[in-house]
A and B are shown apart, each in its own frame.
Chain A
Amino acid sequence: MLAGGVSLILVGMMISNFQMMIIGLTFIAFISINGWIVGQSELEITRFVPHSNVYKGDLIEVSLTITNKSYRRTQLLEVFDNVPHEMKIRRGINQIRINLGPGQSTKLDYMLRCPLRGHFSVGPISVRHRNAFGLFVNESKIEDMCDITVFPQVRDVEDAMLRADVPKMYTGATTLRTPGPGMEFYSLREYLSTDPIRSINWKAFARTGEMMVNQKTRDAVTDVFVILDTREVSRIGTVLKNPLEMGASAAASLASHFLKRKDSVAMVTYGSRMDFLPPDTGDKQQYKVLSRLASVSPSGSMPLQAVTNALSPRISRGSPVFIISSLEGDGTTLPAIRNLSGNGHEVIILSPSSVDLERLVSRIPRMAYEVLKLERQNRLTAVSGYGAKVVDWMPDVELSQALVQSRG
């Protein structure tokens, strides 16, 4: 409009035409008067997200409250909450056009779906203010970030673990006849200043007049090792369905299952490097496992044997070991599993079928597919020959169903 106005004035002056000059002047006057209407972004914006930790596929309600604290009207404002592209808006929209008077406020609600696991940040909030005619635009950002961790999905594998040919006898809390942390009653003893108040037996106190506390029998636990393959090859397939995604979900489900049974769970991920989460029990360990799994990404090509060699001094004798890997592109798989089995570990391999996952994204000729499939079957058979229980996990099969199919 400015260019048009100036051009009209100049052309009008050149050919002494007042009409063109007046139109040009009017356009320029319009811009000048518009300059008087200045928007402002002195806003108080608060974002409320009820949960910062969610599971893959969950929905999050995001709520923004925008208040104009100043004594000026905001004029036309566009408020846009930046949402990571990995998240999908399920309900509502993350932007609004507002014109708030002094002291007025408004609310923007929308719902996000988290189809991918990982650590994400919602924000910053972009505020674009413009005058009513859209001639002047100014954009600013309010650095209000909200971190959200999306854990992998945790499936219920209770029934599957009971029916599956996996080492049940080792796992679960086993009561020992010694006092310690546990569930079952062991004996009564006198209260010590270090005892928690909630352990006081009030009935005994009422009866005897002395402070007595309940002692519990100590629960013994089994260490369960979960090894997850996060190498580059675990990327095969779609963004939502690939060996790593399936594996992360399986690792989270298994860890959750064993932790619920009061077992001690250790988590190992290997790809470009090996990350070891020492065995532990409880909710804190579950949180650590889930957080670790939320951040894994496919990279590197570390061989499995290097992992098992590094772990061997740390794995308790007889502990069951779950290996979640497509077993692709690693020549050390057989010796690694042979070593583990040889050391007396129960080895269970959960192997997402990378051949079938690849079929989801590219067309593999039938003959080639048959050959690849045969190669994979031979590999799995060879592995099971070393005493490992192998689950050939097809993409369209649920984890619980896959576990039932384990063969040894």
Chain B
Amino acid sequence: MELSEKKEEVTETLHIPVLRKKWQILVLQITSTVSLLLLLKRMSDIYGPCSDDFILNNNADTWCPSYEHTRGLMWMENANGLLIPDFLLGVGQTGTMSMIGPLVLCLFATFAIERFWSSSQELQNRIKQVAAALLGAWVILPFLFSWIFATFSNGFHFPWNSNDSMNHIGELFHPLGLMGELVFLGIVFAPVLVGLIGIWGLSKRSITWVVGYYIIVIAFHAVLTFEPIVSEVDVGLRALPTQIGEGSMFGGLVSPLASSLLGVAILMLLFMESGTAAISHMEYAASLPEESKRDSEYIRQFNNVVNSHLIQLLVVVSLVGVTTALALAFDDLMISIVGILEGTQWTGQVKESLELQMTYGKVISAGLFIIAVAGLRFVVPWQIVSGYVESGISRLRSN
């Protein structure tokens, strides 16, 4: 017993390699990763399809700038062919299956980048030199070989010529095809790659970048599907409905569209908070001197802080989801309450008001609800209640 206790004292420290295996930190990182993948899936579902008109009016080879990679890659394949194999790009697959290959690429790239960053500066320089040399060779060598071999059959000539067999300049631009493929892939999977690097490579900036990227994607989609813009330039994106619809899920609380959009917001929040939390805790641990990393009090308090963070993350994010859903349905409640107070002309007008259920009314009523929720903290003494419960439990345990 004593021996095992001593062993535990030695093994539990606040060193980064030990923390990386700590279950609380792993839960935070895995939660963040799962949120990121679910966010990708949900974003693809909402912003991936092109508009019905676009699909009807164009064939499968045409491309619209939606949040989906296979359509663009297929368009490229038809134009010039693809350098990366289809199974890695997800070309020819639909739905979730089309993401498997690129996700494997992202995982591999995350691992490679992580190893690259953790290697010595000398090795990093060597890898950069070799990569640059390989890229240079890929650009130059096919061009040189094709030109030299062509001089044997056609005699000496300049590499640019109207005759295709004597024109070799195109070889120089061959690697650009790969860049194009990576761009199409990157539009959808760059946030996944950067997010994974952020979560597992411990970079808060990367995590913030991902959230910013998704908000920009949403903003671009919103602008490109905005009615006055669509009437001028229709790029074929499918617009979101202007009405959020009647609540039919979770006991009539939210509509399917609201649930879907709320899911994106909650996943974004969960990804950001759990990812940055893991990094913050490890940053704090890294800032401690060697003796404190082994100090049992520091370890105990670190566990206290991380455990309560996990509980708060779970509770707060759930409450945020519920509160936002309630806030979105608050206009209905207000109309129902006013409806009960029948009799005056004003109540009748409000009851029949469509404006309250449209964008402005919904947001204003939601804002009012959230303000009320924020104010409730001065009324509900939950911390004192939970404190009494906690001290009661600890007293029972000690008895």
Spell out A's residues near B (CB within 8 Å): 8-9, 11-13, 15-23, 25-38, 70-73, 75-76, 89, 91-93, 96-103, 106-109, 131-134
Q: Tell me the complex Cα distance, A257–B316, Å.
A: 68
Q: Could you list some 11 contacts between A and B, CB below 8 A?
A: A12-B363, A18-B257, A21-B359, A26-B265, A32-B370, A33-B316, A36-B377, A97-B284, A97-B302, A99-B305, A101-B390
A71 to B393, CA, bound (A): 13
Q: Are A23 and B313 in contact (CB under 8 A)?
A: no
Chain B residues whose CB sits within 8 angstroms of the CB of A72 once the complex forms: 383-384, 387
**Residues of chain B with a CB closer than 8 A to A75's CB:** 308
Report the Cα distance A36→B379, complex, angstroms: 10
When distances are taken between beta carbons in the complex, the residues of chain A under 8 Å from B280 are 134
- In chain B, positions 301-327 with a C-beta closer than 8 Å to chain A are 301-302, 304-305, 308-309, 312-313, 316, 319-320, 323-324, 327
By the criterion CB–CB under 8 Å, are B359 and A25 in contact? no
CB-defined contacts of B226 to chain A, threshold 8 Å: 15-17
The distance in angstroms between the C-alpha atoms of A133 and B289, with both chains bound, is: 24
Among B215, B262, B297, point to the contact of A22 (Cβ < 8 A).
Answer: B262
Most buried by B among A20, A23, A108: A23
Pairwise interchain contact B215-A8, C-beta atoms closer than 8 A: yes
Residue of A nearest to B317 (CB): A30
Contact with A along B283-308 (1 / 0, CB 8 A): 01000110110010110111011001
* Interface membership of B218, Cβ < 8 A: yes
Q: State which of A21, A34, A71 has its C-beta within 8 Å of the C-beta of B391.
A: A71
B261 within 8 A of A: yes
Q: Assess the A99–B391 pair: CB atoms within 8 A.
A: no
Q: Which residues of B contact A17 (CB under 8 A)?
A: 218, 222, 226, 240
Instruction: Across the interface, name the chain A residue whose C-beta is closest to B326.
Output: A29
Contact between B373 and A38, CB atoms less than 8 A apart? no
- A38 & B323 in contact (Cβ 8 Å cutoff): no
CB contacts (< 8 Å) of B328 on chain A: these are 22, 25
Residues of chain A within 8 A of B273, CB atoms compared: 133
- In the complex, chain B residues whose CB is within 8 Å of the CB of A96: 297-298, 301
The answer to whether A11 and B301 touch (CB under 8 A), given A17-B240, A18-B258, A33-B316, is: no
Q: Report the separation of the CA atoms of residues A27 and B327 in the bound assembly, to the nearest whole angstrom.
A: 13
Q: Which of B292, B295, B320, B360 interacts with A29 by CB under 8 Å? A: B320
B266 part of interface (Cβ distance < 8 Å): yes
Bound Cα distance A28, B266 (Å)? 12
- Collect the chain B residues with CB atoms within 8 Å of residue A36's CB: 376-377, 380, 382
The number of chain B residues with a CB under 8 A from chain A is: 71
| Given the contacts A29-B327, A102-B390, A106-B297, A9 and B264 also touching, CB distance less than 8 Å | no
The DSSP consensus for interface residues of chain B is: helix
- Interchain CB contact under 8 A, A71 and B222: no
Residue in B241, B284, B297, B363 whose beta carbon sits within 8 Å of that of A107 in the complex: B297
Contacts of A16 in B (CB 8 A): 226-227, 242, 359
B261 x A18 contact (CB < 8 A): yes
Asked whether A19 and B240 contact (CB < 8 A) given A25-B363, A72-B384, the answer is yes
Q: Which residues of A contact B74 (CB under 8 A)?
A: none
Question: Are A15 and B291 touching (Cβ within 8 A)?
Answer: no
CB-nearest residue of chain A to B228:
A15
Minimum distance in angstroms from A69 CB to a CB of chain B: 11
- A26-B320, A71-B384 known; A101+B222 contact, CB < 8 A: no
B183 within 8 A of A: no
Smallest Cβ-Cβ distance to B388: which chain A residue: A71
Structural contact, B240 and A29, CB atoms closer than 8 A: no
Interface membership of chain B positions 138-180, coded 1 if the CB is closer than 8 angstroms to chain A and 0 otherwise: 0000000000000000000000000000000000000000000
Contact B383 A20 (CB under 8 A): no
* Interface presence of B244 (CB below 8 A): yes
Given contacts A99-B301, A108-B297, contact A132 B262 (CB under 8 A): no
Given contacts A32-B370, A33-B373, contact A92 B295 (CB under 8 A): yes
Instruction: For B390, give its contact among A73, A76, A91 (CB under 8 Å).
Output: A73
**Contacting pair B394 A101 (CB below 8 A):** yes
Known contacts A20-B218, A98-B305, A101-B391; decide if A93 and B292 are in contact (CB<8 Å). yes
The 3 A-B residue pairs with the shortest CB-CB distance, nearest first, are: A32-B374, A26-B265, A17-B222
Distance of A26 Cα from B257 Cα, bound (Å) = 15
A104 CA / B201 CA spacing, docked (Å): 35
Task: List B residues 201-223 near A (Cβ within 8 Å).
Answer: 215, 218-219, 221-223
Q: How far is the CA of A93 from the CA of B390 in the complex (A)?
A: 30
Q: Are B383 and A38 in contact (CB under 8 A)?
A: yes
